[in-house]
Protein backbone atom coordinates (compact mmCIF):
# COMPACT_ATOMS: atom_id res chain seq x y z
CA UNK A 1 0.00 0.00 0.00
CA UNK A 2 1.18 3.70 -0.39
CA UNK A 3 3.85 4.75 2.07
CA UNK A 4 4.87 1.14 2.81
CA UNK A 5 1.67 -0.04 4.57
CA UNK A 6 1.18 -3.71 4.99
CA UNK A 7 -2.08 -5.34 4.02
CA UNK A 8 -4.62 -6.20 6.73
CA UNK A 9 -4.24 -9.28 8.81
CA UNK A 10 -1.89 -8.05 11.51
CA UNK A 11 -2.50 -9.48 14.99
CA UNK A 12 -5.85 -8.19 16.25
CA UNK A 13 -6.83 -7.11 12.76
CA UNK A 14 -4.81 -3.89 13.11
CA UNK A 15 -2.59 -2.38 10.45
CA UNK A 16 0.66 -0.57 11.22
CA UNK A 17 0.09 2.86 12.83
CA UNK A 18 -3.13 1.76 14.53
CA UNK A 19 -5.21 1.53 11.37
CA UNK A 20 -8.20 -0.78 11.26
CA UNK A 21 -8.69 -3.27 8.41
CA UNK A 22 -10.01 -1.68 5.24
CA UNK A 23 -8.05 1.50 5.87
CA UNK A 24 -10.24 2.63 8.76
CA UNK A 25 -8.74 4.50 11.70
CA UNK A 26 -10.02 4.14 15.25
CA UNK A 27 -13.41 5.84 15.60
CA UNK A 28 -14.29 5.06 11.98
CA UNK A 29 -12.10 7.80 10.47
CA UNK A 30 -10.70 7.22 7.00
CA UNK A 31 -7.05 8.00 6.51
CA UNK A 32 -8.01 10.77 4.06
CA UNK A 33 -7.39 11.44 0.42
CA UNK A 34 -3.99 12.24 -0.89
CA UNK A 35 -3.30 15.78 -2.04
CA UNK A 36 -0.81 16.94 -4.69
CA UNK A 37 2.71 16.32 -3.48
CA UNK A 38 1.72 13.22 -1.56
CA UNK A 39 0.46 14.97 1.55
CA UNK A 40 -2.57 14.00 3.58
CA UNK A 41 -4.90 16.54 5.15
CA UNK A 42 -2.97 17.79 8.20
CA UNK A 43 -3.86 17.46 11.82
CA UNK A 44 -5.89 14.16 11.80
CA UNK A 45 -6.20 12.59 15.21
CA UNK A 46 -6.41 8.88 15.78
CA UNK A 47 -4.11 6.42 14.10
CA UNK A 48 -0.52 7.49 13.55
CA UNK A 49 0.46 10.78 15.25
CA UNK A 50 -0.81 13.72 13.19
CA UNK A 51 -2.67 11.45 10.75
CA UNK A 52 0.56 10.18 9.04
CA UNK A 53 0.80 7.00 7.08
CA UNK A 54 3.70 4.73 8.03
CA UNK A 55 6.86 5.32 6.10
CA UNK A 56 7.63 8.15 3.75
CA UNK A 57 5.16 9.61 1.27
CA UNK A 58 5.90 9.69 -2.50
CA UNK A 59 8.68 12.12 -3.19
CA UNK A 60 10.20 11.49 0.24
CA UNK A 61 8.02 14.02 2.06
CA UNK A 62 6.22 13.44 5.33
CA UNK A 63 2.75 14.99 5.78
CA UNK A 64 3.30 18.72 6.43
CA UNK A 65 1.95 20.94 9.17
CA UNK A 66 0.55 18.08 11.32
CA UNK A 67 0.51 17.66 15.07
CA UNK A 68 2.57 14.85 16.40
CA UNK A 69 4.32 14.10 13.10
CA UNK A 70 7.65 15.33 11.91
CA UNK A 71 7.57 19.11 12.21
CA UNK A 72 6.24 20.92 9.17
CA UNK A 73 6.78 18.15 6.62
CA UNK A 74 10.58 17.69 6.91
CA UNK A 75 12.78 15.51 4.78
CA UNK A 76 15.18 13.23 6.59
CA UNK A 77 17.81 15.45 8.17
CA UNK A 78 15.25 18.15 8.95
CA UNK A 79 15.34 19.98 5.63
CA UNK A 80 12.66 20.27 2.93
CA UNK A 81 13.50 20.44 -0.79
CA UNK A 82 15.04 23.79 -1.63
CA UNK A 83 16.60 24.23 1.81
CA UNK A 84 13.47 25.48 3.58
CA UNK A 85 13.14 25.45 7.33
CA UNK A 86 10.73 23.06 9.08
CA UNK A 87 7.09 23.83 8.20
CA UNK A 88 8.16 25.32 4.89
CA UNK A 89 9.11 28.54 6.67
CA UNK A 90 12.07 30.77 6.05
CA UNK A 91 13.98 32.26 9.02
CA UNK A 92 11.80 34.85 10.78
CA UNK A 93 8.59 32.95 9.97
CA UNK A 94 8.28 34.10 6.34
CA UNK A 95 7.16 31.73 3.59
CA UNK A 96 9.06 31.87 0.29
CA UNK A 97 6.86 34.10 -1.87
CA UNK A 98 4.12 33.76 0.73
CA UNK A 99 3.31 30.19 -0.47
CA UNK A 100 2.99 26.92 1.43
CA UNK A 101 4.21 23.67 -0.23
CA UNK A 102 1.84 22.70 -3.01
CA UNK A 103 0.87 26.31 -3.71
CA UNK A 104 -1.32 26.76 -0.65
CA UNK A 105 -1.51 30.11 1.14
CA UNK A 106 -1.17 30.38 4.92
CA UNK A 107 -4.59 30.03 6.54
CA UNK A 108 -4.63 32.13 9.66
CA UNK A 109 -1.91 30.52 11.83
CA UNK A 110 -1.30 32.44 15.03
CA UNK A 111 2.24 32.59 16.34
CA UNK A 112 3.22 29.64 14.18
CA UNK A 113 1.39 27.22 16.53
CA UNK A 114 -0.91 24.48 15.20
CA UNK A 115 -4.55 25.47 15.02
CA UNK A 116 -4.71 27.38 11.78
CA UNK A 117 -3.97 25.14 8.80
CA UNK A 118 -3.57 26.27 5.17
CA UNK A 119 -6.77 27.47 3.53
CA UNK A 120 -8.51 28.52 6.73
CA UNK A 121 -8.54 25.11 8.53
CA UNK A 122 -8.78 25.30 12.29
CA UNK A 123 -7.73 22.52 14.60
CA UNK A 124 -6.39 20.50 11.69
CA UNK A 125 -9.88 19.61 10.36
CA UNK A 126 -10.38 19.42 6.59
CA UNK A 127 -11.97 22.46 5.01
CA UNK A 128 -9.47 24.26 2.86
CA UNK A 129 -7.18 22.08 0.75
CA UNK A 130 -5.71 23.00 -2.65
CA UNK A 131 -7.55 22.12 -5.80
CA UNK A 132 -10.74 24.01 -5.03
CA UNK A 133 -11.91 22.04 -1.96
CA UNK A 134 -14.37 24.06 0.18
CA UNK A 135 -13.05 26.57 2.70
CA UNK A 136 -9.80 27.82 1.23
CA UNK A 137 -8.20 29.86 -1.54
CA UNK A 138 -6.95 28.28 -4.72
CA UNK A 139 -3.22 27.99 -5.31
CA UNK A 140 -1.55 31.29 -6.05
CA UNK A 141 -4.30 33.47 -4.61
CA UNK A 142 -3.42 35.90 -1.81
CA UNK A 143 -5.43 36.91 1.25
CA UNK A 144 -6.61 40.52 1.68
CA UNK A 145 -4.59 42.58 4.17
CA UNK A 146 -6.03 42.89 7.66
CA UNK A 147 -6.71 46.47 8.80
CA UNK A 148 -7.15 46.92 12.56
CA UNK A 149 -10.33 48.67 13.72
CA UNK A 150 -10.12 52.36 14.52
CA UNK A 151 -9.75 51.80 18.26
CA UNK A 152 -6.75 49.53 17.64
CA UNK A 153 -4.90 51.97 15.41
CA UNK A 154 -1.52 53.12 16.76
CA UNK A 155 -1.82 56.33 18.77
CA UNK A 156 -1.16 59.57 16.94
CA UNK A 157 2.31 60.91 17.76
CA UNK A 158 2.22 63.84 20.17
CA UNK A 159 2.34 67.15 18.37
CA UNK A 160 4.71 69.94 19.39
CA UNK A 161 3.26 72.23 22.05
CA UNK A 162 3.35 75.25 19.70
CA UNK A 163 0.96 73.66 17.16
CA UNK A 164 -2.77 74.52 17.48
CA UNK A 165 -4.70 71.25 17.67
CA UNK A 166 -7.74 69.35 18.82
CA UNK A 167 -7.20 66.37 21.12
CA UNK A 168 -10.00 63.89 20.43
CA UNK A 169 -11.31 61.84 23.35
CA UNK A 170 -14.02 59.19 23.62
CA UNK A 171 -16.79 59.70 26.17
CA UNK A 172 -15.12 57.07 28.39
CA UNK A 173 -11.98 59.24 28.58
CA UNK A 174 -9.72 57.27 26.22
CA UNK A 175 -7.71 59.51 23.89
CA UNK A 176 -8.10 58.82 20.17
CA UNK A 177 -5.48 61.14 18.74
CA UNK A 178 -4.83 64.75 17.77
CA UNK A 179 -5.90 66.83 14.79
CA UNK A 180 -3.86 69.83 13.70
CA UNK A 181 -5.78 73.09 13.30
CA UNK A 182 -4.84 75.17 10.29
CA UNK A 183 -5.07 78.94 10.18
CA UNK A 184 -8.56 79.72 8.89
CA UNK A 185 -11.57 77.39 8.83
CA UNK A 186 -11.39 73.74 9.96
CA UNK A 187 -14.35 71.45 9.24
CA UNK A 188 -15.61 69.00 11.86
CA UNK A 189 -18.07 66.37 10.59
CA UNK A 190 -18.41 63.07 8.79
CA UNK A 191 -17.45 64.78 5.54
CA UNK A 192 -14.01 65.45 7.03
CA UNK A 193 -13.36 61.68 6.96
CA UNK A 194 -10.93 59.80 9.18
CA UNK A 195 -12.13 58.83 12.63
CA UNK A 196 -15.06 61.27 12.35
CA UNK A 197 -16.63 59.50 9.37
CA UNK A 198 -17.92 56.65 11.55
CA UNK A 199 -19.68 58.85 14.14
CA UNK A 200 -23.40 58.54 13.41
CA UNK A 201 -24.28 61.42 15.75
CA UNK A 202 -22.18 63.88 13.75
CA UNK A 203 -23.71 65.66 10.78
CA UNK A 204 -21.83 65.63 7.49
CA UNK A 205 -20.87 69.27 8.09
CA UNK A 206 -21.34 69.57 11.84
CA UNK A 207 -19.18 72.54 12.83
CA UNK A 208 -16.39 74.82 11.70
CA UNK A 209 -13.57 75.81 14.05
CA UNK A 210 -11.99 79.04 12.84
CA UNK A 211 -8.46 79.91 13.91
CA UNK A 212 -7.24 83.44 13.21
CA UNK A 213 -4.25 85.13 14.84
CA UNK A 214 -4.36 82.85 17.90
CA UNK A 215 -8.10 83.27 18.47
CA UNK A 216 -10.43 80.28 18.01
CA UNK A 217 -14.17 80.23 17.44
CA UNK A 218 -16.58 77.31 16.88
CA UNK A 219 -19.64 77.75 14.64
CA UNK A 220 -22.60 75.38 14.34
CA UNK A 221 -23.21 74.52 10.68
CA UNK A 222 -26.86 73.62 11.26
CA UNK A 223 -26.08 70.27 12.88
CA UNK A 224 -28.87 68.02 14.05
CA UNK A 225 -27.46 67.18 17.49
CA UNK A 226 -25.72 70.44 18.27
CA UNK A 227 -22.46 71.60 19.85
CA UNK A 228 -21.99 71.63 23.61
CA UNK A 229 -19.18 73.51 25.37
CA UNK A 230 -18.12 72.58 28.89
CA UNK A 231 -18.85 75.27 31.45
CA UNK A 232 -16.29 76.24 34.09
CA UNK A 233 -16.55 74.64 37.50
CA UNK A 234 -18.52 76.74 39.99
CA UNK A 235 -18.87 79.50 37.36
CA UNK A 236 -22.51 80.62 36.85
CA UNK A 237 -23.67 80.60 33.22
CA UNK A 238 -26.88 82.46 32.29
CA UNK A 239 -29.71 80.32 30.90
CA UNK A 240 -32.13 81.70 28.34
CA UNK A 241 -35.50 80.25 27.47
CA UNK A 242 -34.97 77.10 25.35
CA UNK A 243 -31.31 76.58 26.31
CA UNK A 244 -30.19 72.96 26.52
CA UNK A 245 -27.44 71.51 28.70
CA UNK A 246 -26.16 68.01 29.28
CA UNK A 247 -24.35 66.02 31.94
CA UNK A 248 -23.71 62.30 31.91
CA UNK A 249 -26.20 60.85 29.42
CA UNK A 250 -28.86 63.42 30.28
CA UNK A 251 -29.98 66.40 28.17
CA UNK A 252 -32.33 68.94 29.77
CA UNK A 253 -33.98 72.06 28.39
CA UNK A 254 -34.65 75.21 30.41
CA UNK A 255 -38.12 76.69 29.93
CA UNK A 256 -38.78 80.12 31.39
CA UNK A 257 -42.37 79.36 32.37
CA UNK A 258 -43.43 76.72 34.86
CA UNK A 259 -46.49 75.38 33.09
CA UNK A 260 -46.28 71.79 34.29
CA UNK A 261 -46.67 68.64 32.17
CA UNK A 262 -48.30 68.65 28.78
CA UNK A 263 -51.98 67.64 28.65
CA UNK A 264 -52.37 63.89 29.16
CA UNK A 265 -48.83 63.43 30.54
CA UNK A 266 -47.72 62.73 34.09
CA UNK A 267 -45.44 65.07 35.99
CA UNK A 268 -45.21 67.53 38.88
CA UNK A 269 -47.85 70.21 39.05
CA UNK A 270 -46.59 73.76 38.51
CA UNK A 271 -45.83 75.89 41.56
CA UNK A 272 -48.03 78.78 42.51
CA UNK A 273 -47.80 82.16 40.79
CA UNK A 274 -44.42 83.77 41.40
CA UNK A 275 -43.02 80.70 43.21
CA UNK A 276 -41.03 79.32 40.26
CA UNK A 277 -38.56 80.81 37.82
CA UNK A 278 -39.19 78.22 35.14
CA UNK A 279 -38.88 74.47 34.71
CA UNK A 280 -36.52 71.81 33.33
CA UNK A 281 -37.84 69.51 30.61
CA UNK A 282 -36.26 66.17 29.72
CA UNK A 283 -34.86 65.98 26.18
CA UNK A 284 -32.76 62.80 26.39
CA UNK A 285 -32.37 60.45 29.32
CA UNK A 286 -31.71 56.73 29.44
CA UNK A 287 -33.18 54.92 32.46
CA UNK A 288 -34.60 58.19 33.77
CA UNK A 289 -37.87 58.44 35.69
CA UNK A 290 -39.80 60.60 33.25
CA UNK A 291 -42.54 61.26 35.81
CA UNK A 292 -40.10 63.66 37.54
CA UNK A 293 -40.36 66.07 34.61
CA UNK A 294 -40.84 68.88 33.97
CA UNK A 295 -39.06 69.89 37.18
CA UNK A 296 -40.20 73.22 38.68
CA UNK A 297 -37.35 75.57 39.64
CA UNK A 298 -38.28 77.15 42.98
CA UNK A 299 -37.49 80.85 43.19
CA UNK A 300 -36.06 80.57 46.69
CA UNK A 301 -33.71 77.61 46.39
CA UNK A 302 -33.37 76.50 42.80
CA UNK A 303 -32.92 72.80 42.00
CA UNK A 304 -29.87 70.54 42.34
CA UNK A 305 -29.14 67.62 39.99
CA UNK A 306 -26.93 64.59 40.62
CA UNK A 307 -26.71 60.87 41.18
CA UNK A 308 -27.15 60.66 44.95
CA UNK A 309 -26.85 64.01 46.77
CA UNK A 310 -29.31 66.19 44.87
CA UNK A 311 -32.99 67.06 44.80
CA UNK A 312 -33.41 65.41 41.38
CA UNK A 313 -31.44 62.16 41.19
CA UNK A 314 -30.20 59.98 38.35
CA UNK A 315 -29.03 56.84 40.17
CA UNK A 316 -28.52 54.73 37.03
CA UNK A 317 -26.13 57.08 35.23
CA UNK A 318 -22.54 56.33 36.22
CA UNK A 319 -21.23 59.45 34.46
CA UNK A 320 -23.16 61.71 36.86
CA UNK A 321 -21.50 62.87 40.09
CA UNK A 322 -23.28 62.68 43.45
CA UNK A 323 -23.95 66.42 43.27
CA UNK A 324 -23.35 67.37 39.66
CA UNK A 325 -24.89 70.75 38.87
CA UNK A 326 -27.52 73.26 39.91
CA UNK A 327 -30.01 75.60 38.27
CA UNK A 328 -30.86 78.56 40.46
CA UNK A 329 -31.74 82.25 40.52
CA UNK A 330 -28.92 84.77 40.97
CA UNK A 331 -30.19 88.32 41.08
CA UNK A 332 -32.82 88.41 38.36
CA UNK A 333 -31.21 85.80 36.09
CA UNK A 334 -31.50 82.01 36.06
CA UNK A 335 -28.06 80.41 35.95
CA UNK A 336 -26.50 76.99 35.50
CA UNK A 337 -23.60 76.09 37.83
CA UNK A 338 -21.38 73.00 37.61
CA UNK A 339 -20.74 71.88 41.19
CA UNK A 340 -17.20 70.58 40.70
CA UNK A 341 -18.38 67.45 38.86
CA UNK A 342 -15.95 64.80 37.61
CA UNK A 343 -17.16 64.67 33.99
CA UNK A 344 -18.41 68.20 33.48
CA UNK A 345 -21.58 70.01 32.47
CA UNK A 346 -21.99 71.13 28.86
CA UNK A 347 -24.14 73.97 27.49
CA UNK A 348 -25.40 73.88 23.89
CA UNK A 349 -24.25 76.92 21.94
CA UNK A 350 -26.34 78.99 19.55
CA UNK A 351 -24.61 80.12 16.40
CA UNK A 352 -20.95 80.88 17.22
CA UNK A 353 -18.91 80.72 20.41
CA UNK A 354 -15.43 82.03 21.23
CA UNK A 355 -13.18 79.25 22.56
CA UNK A 356 -10.59 79.53 25.28
CA UNK A 357 -7.44 77.44 25.51
CA UNK A 358 -8.23 73.94 26.88
CA UNK A 359 -11.98 74.30 26.34
CA UNK A 360 -13.81 70.98 25.91
CA UNK A 361 -16.38 70.68 23.11
CA UNK A 362 -18.89 67.81 22.94
CA UNK A 363 -19.91 66.90 19.40
CA UNK A 364 -21.39 63.55 18.40
CA UNK A 365 -19.85 60.80 20.49
CA UNK A 366 -16.54 62.53 21.16
CA UNK A 367 -15.09 65.36 23.21
CA UNK A 368 -12.66 67.73 21.51
CA UNK A 369 -10.11 69.53 23.71
CA UNK A 370 -8.71 72.59 22.01
CA UNK A 371 -5.07 73.62 22.53
CA UNK A 372 -4.08 77.13 21.40
CA UNK A 373 -0.43 78.10 21.97
CA UNK A 374 -0.29 81.30 24.01
CA UNK A 375 -4.05 81.19 24.57
Domain total of the chain: 2
- pLDDT higher than threshold 50 for residue 8: no
pLDDT band, very low/low/confident/very high, at 173 (cuts 50, 70, 90) = confident
* Judgement on whether residues 290 and 327 belong to the same structural domain of the protein: yes
Could you tell me the residue range of the domain that residue 192 belongs to?
Answer: 160-227+351-371
pLDDT band, very low/low/confident/very high, at 264 (cuts 50, 70, 90) = confident
Higher pLDDT: 166 or 29? It is 166
pLDDT band, very low/low/confident/very high, at 252 (cuts 50, 70, 90) = very high
Would you state the pLDDT for residue 204? Answer: 94
- Residue 319 within any structural domain of the chain: yes
* Judgement on whether residues 266 and 337 belong to the same structural domain of the protein: yes
| pLDDT, average across residues 224-247 | 97
Would you state the pLDDT for residue 103? Answer: 40
* Judgement on whether residues 270 and 331 belong to the same structural domain of the protein: yes
| Rounded Cα distance, 224 and 208, in Å | 14
Show the 3-state SS of the chain: CHHHCCCCCCHHHCECCCEEHHHEECCCECCCCCECCCECCCCCCCCCHHHCCCCCCHHHCCCCCCCCCCCCCCCCCCCECCCECHHHCECCCECHHHCCHHHCCCCCCCCCCCCEECCCEECCCCCCCCCCCCCCCCCCCCCCCCCCCHHHCCCCCCCCCCCCEEEEEECCCCEEEEEECCCEEEEECHHHCHHHCCCCCCCCCCEEEEEECCEEEEEECCCCCCCEEECCECCCEECCCCCEEEECCEEEEEECCCCCCCCCCCCCCCCCCCCEEEEEEEEEECCCCHHHCCEEEECCCCEEEECCCCCEECCCCCCCCCCCEEEEEECCEEEEEECCCCCCCEEECCCEEEECCCCEEEECCEEEEEECCCC
pLDDT band, very low/low/confident/very high, at 196 (cuts 50, 70, 90) = confident
Would you state the pLDDT for residue 160? Answer: 53
The CATH number assigned to the domain holding 182 equals 2.60.200.20
Q: How would you class 39 by CB atoms within 10 Å of its CB: exposed for 0-12, middle for 13-18, buried for 19 or more?
A: buried
- pLDDT higher than threshold 60 for residue 2: no
Which among 106, 130, 150, 142 is positioned nearest to 40, based on CA atoms? 130
- Residue 312 within any structural domain of the chain: yes
Predicted TM-score of the model (pTM)? 0.58
- Residue 40 within any structural domain of the chain: no
pLDDT band, very low/low/confident/very high, at 153 (cuts 50, 70, 90) = very low
- Residue 328 within any structural domain of the chain: yes
- Residue 217 within any structural domain of the chain: yes
* Judgement on whether residues 190 and 339 belong to the same structural domain of the protein: no
* Judgement on whether residues 235 and 184 belong to the same structural domain of the protein: no
Would you state the pLDDT for residue 158? Answer: 52
* Judgement on whether residues 184 and 211 belong to the same structural domain of the protein: yes
Would you state the pLDDT for residue 17? Answer: 43
* Judgement on whether residues 297 and 309 belong to the same structural domain of the protein: yes
* Judgement on whether residues 358 and 335 belong to the same structural domain of the protein: no
pLDDT band, very low/low/confident/very high, at 214 (cuts 50, 70, 90) = confident
* Judgement on whether residues 217 and 355 belong to the same structural domain of the protein: yes
Separation in Å, CA 349 to CA 27, 168, 190 = 72, 19, 20
| Rounded Cα distance, 194 and 153, in Å | 12
Q: What is the per-residue pLDDT across 49-101, written as a single tens digit (0 to 9) for each? A: 444 444 444 444 444 444 444 444 444 444 444 444 444 444 444 444 444 44
Residues of the chain with pLDDT > 70: what percent? Answer: 57
Q: What is the per-residue pLDDT across 325-358, written as a single tens digit (0 to 9) for each? A: 999 999 999 999 999 999 999 999 999 999 999 9
* Judgement on whether residues 195 and 257 belong to the same structural domain of the protein: no
Higher pLDDT: 141 or 316? It is 316
Q: What mean pLDDT, rounded, does the chain reach?
A: 71
* Judgement on whether residues 328 and 362 belong to the same structural domain of the protein: no
Would you state the pLDDT for residue 209? Answer: 96
Under a CB-based contact definition with an 8 Å cutoff, are residues 122 and 116 in contact? yes
* Judgement on whether residues 209 and 297 belong to the same structural domain of the protein: no
Amino acid sequence: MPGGMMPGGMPGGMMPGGMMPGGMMPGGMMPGRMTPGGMMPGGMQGGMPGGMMPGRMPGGMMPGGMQGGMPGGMMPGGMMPGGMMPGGMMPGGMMPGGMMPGGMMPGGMQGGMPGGMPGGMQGGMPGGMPGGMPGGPRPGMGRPPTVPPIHQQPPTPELPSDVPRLVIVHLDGTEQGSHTLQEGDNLVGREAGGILAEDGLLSSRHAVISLRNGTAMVRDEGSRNGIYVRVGKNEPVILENGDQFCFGRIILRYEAENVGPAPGEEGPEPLGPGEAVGQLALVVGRDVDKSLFPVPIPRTEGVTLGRSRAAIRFPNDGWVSGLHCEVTLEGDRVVLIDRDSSNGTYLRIKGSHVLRNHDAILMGQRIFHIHIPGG
